[in-house]
Chains A and B, each alone.
Chain A
Amino acid sequence: MKRVLFLAPIALFVVVLVVFFVGLRRDPSALPSALIDKPVPAFILPPLRPEDSRGFAATDLGGEPMLVNVYASWCGPCKLEHPMLMRLKREGVIIHGVDWKDTREAGYGFLAERGDPFVRVGSDQSGRTGIDLGVAGAPETFVIDKAGKVRYRHIGAISIEDWEQKIGPLLQRLRAES
């Protein structure tokens, strides 16, 4: 009994150590989406590109696994992420874009200057579609499955590690789903 009492504080210390070791290394801004495993709420965005007759709508989602990238011309990390999106486009990944809380001119200028990785892209000037998606900031990327449901939300720019360890393998799995 004495020995148990003597060891209890040490055991407690180890537990606290583990909790802090795990807890303090977690990124508090990495929140799961409230939309996980749910269909994306209906939205219809006007076109961003002058040559498009229509923009991007919730009905464009599904069929094949795809990414939806929320970006803005005012967003610094989006510039860092942009070459990654161009690489994914070359690799055949379907990416749709939402230009969030941005003017059409600036949002289109961003793509005209740097390259356009998007199949469809909509202009969300008011930011309301972003809010419907639960977006907290740009860039954010949603992984959509064949049924058009949100399966993963990535906050911040997609790094090479993010792609190789999380998003790429997830897309592979989603392609194998029926």
Chain B
Amino acid sequence: MSRLLLIAASAAALAGAAHAVEPDEVMADPALEARAHALSREMRCVVCQNQSIDDSDAALAKDMRIILRERIAAGDTDEEAEGFLVARYGSFVQLKPPLRPDTLALWFGPLVVLVAGGIGAAIYMRGRAPGKAAPLSAGEEAELADLMETDRSSSDRAG
């Protein structure tokens, strides 16, 4: 039983670390490798478009991982290394799109829909609320007073 648990635990631990990086790509300096690893998780593979280059087994993703590591080894900042790929493949390779005029709809579209929905809901709720009744006319007023009087006198008798 305990052996089974151990196997399950090691399998889970391995699953957490699973990515497509091959041993020959890993940089000697762990700090630089950590930067390259973090960066490659943010870059989209252009072959299998819903994977990061860190996850993808595509040959082109491997090339892009190696390029990132070369740039970092050459002293590039994270932004410069990312910029190298963005200059060639466009913003498409960024899994987190930057805030730019052409991405405004992407960033704020949901908010606009939420606000529009809220306004619509408010209008709807207001329409459903019972409105104020119109004041009684003189005739209705007299009729009401009459009824009240009858009611009072009848309850007096009963009391």
Query: A residues engaging B (CB < 8 A)?
Result: 1-2, 5, 8, 28-29, 31-35, 41, 101, 127-128, 131-134, 136-137
Contact = CB atoms under 8 A, between A and B. Distances in A.
A136 B47 contact: yes
Shortest 10 CB-CB contacts between residues of A and residues of B: A34-B90, A136-B46, A134-B88, A134-B89, A127-B63, A31-B92, A34-B89, A34-B88, A131-B88, A132-B88
A132 to B, nearest CB: 6
A5 B59 contact: no
Nearest to A35: B88
Nearest to A34: B90
Contact of A136 (B60, B67, B86): B60
Nearest to B67: A131
A137 B92 CA distance: 15
Contacts of A35: 88
Give the dominant DSSP class at A's interface: loop
Nearest to A29: B49
A44 B123 CA distance: 66
Contacts of B123: 5
Interface of B: 46-47, 49, 59-60, 63-64, 67, 86-90, 92, 120, 123-124, 127
A8 B90 CA distance: 38
A134 B90 contact: yes
A28 B47 contact: no
B90 to A, nearest CB: 4
Nearest to A137: B47
A127 B58 CA distance: 13
Contacts of B60: 127, 131, 136-137
A31 B90 contact: yes
Contacts of A29: 49
Contact of B63 (A8, A34, A131, A133): A131
B67 A34 contact: no
A29 B44 CA distance: 13
Contacts of B88: 34-35, 41, 131-134
27 contacts: A1-B127, A2-B127, A5-B124, A8-B120, A31-B46, A31-B92, A32-B90, A34-B87, A34-B88, A35-B88, A101-B59, A127-B59, A128-B63, A131-B60, A131-B63, A131-B64, A131-B67, A131-B88, A132-B88, A133-B88, A134-B88, A134-B90, A136-B46, A136-B60, A136-B89, A137-B46, A137-B60
Given A5-B124, A8-B120, A131-B67, A28 B49 contact: yes
Contacts of A28: 49
Contacts of A41: 88
